[in-house]
A and B are shown apart, each in its own frame.
Chain A
Amino acid sequence: MNDTDQIEVTTEVLEGTTIIKPIGEIDLSRAPSLRHHLNEAQAAKPGTLVIDLAEVPYMDSSGVATLVEAMQIARRNKSRIILCSMQERVKSIFEIARLDAVFTIVENREIALET
């Protein structure tokens, strides 16, 4: 994996909740890097994993597949995943793929933390 294939991610851990914030486009080249960060976060089995997508201007089905994988891991761990702060272009792919009904998607991080 090249350096340009690495996605920048910030991680915050609050009581029982981990917040992951990827920064940049998520496509076939960067989805493996996101998967790595999500796997690391989920290894600690947080009660809730919030994925803040405010700084993700684009996502393709590779990124979506990575989030579906994370959701399946969360279900096995009996934990939750909440997606928040989606940009319109990213929201569009979830709507077309009808995944907006599968994921818990909220407007912003504050609502995610209250959910």
Chain B
Amino acid sequence: MAEMSRPPDVKLELFSQPRLLAGARALISNIAQRIGFSEIFCGQISLAIDEALCNIINHGYDKRTDGKIMLSIWAIENEPPSLRIVIEDQARQVDPATIQSRNLEDVRPGGLGVYLINEIMDEVKYEKREGGGMRLTMVKLLPTRENCGSVSAANTSQGLGQTHE
């Protein structure tokens, strides 16, 4: 995953409070829409960000509401058009190798967040931050005929026809 050489287009800092999730979702969805993502994709990207923030609130900060979460967003309009989102926190560090989605055959409440993030986003990388906390970098490419996304319903809505399940 290549590093960005320029500063983010948007930086947002919020506290680890569930009531703030709606605002973060709306921001991401609007930026994604301006890049050209379809409504369904905008919804899915904001869902992935919501899930990442929920995981930080629930697991990183153990539901504490005074933790800081930093979002950096790059709206990349060419080479190729994409949305890059970096979410950083100052919460408990975990080994990135242990962050795995669960088996969907095991139908039970909870544990879907990592799976949804991995399914929706094209690139996902977890890292420990120097000095504490975690960094999650996610990239979503604007679907083209060459790089069709992973979710068939969204691809259909994007006007690309059926791709793969």
Contact = CB atoms under 8 A, between A and B. Distances in A.
Interface residues of A, number: 28
A99 to B, nearest CB: 7
Contacts of B39: 88-89
Q: Give chain A's interface secondary structure class.
A: helix
Interface residues of B, number: 30
Contacts, number: 79
25 contacts: A5-B18, A5-B19, A27-B54, A28-B21, A28-B50, A28-B54, A29-B21, A58-B43, A61-B51, A61-B54, A61-B110, A61-B112, A61-B116, A65-B109, A66-B109, A68-B108, A88-B153, A92-B40, A92-B43, A92-B154, A95-B153, A96-B151, A97-B112, A97-B115, A98-B104
Interface of A: 2, 4-5, 25, 27-29, 58, 60-62, 64-66, 68-69, 72, 88-89, 91-93, 95-99, 102
Interface of B: 18-19, 21-22, 25, 39-40, 43-44, 47, 50-51, 54, 57-58, 104, 107-110, 112-113, 115-116, 119-120, 151, 153-154, 157
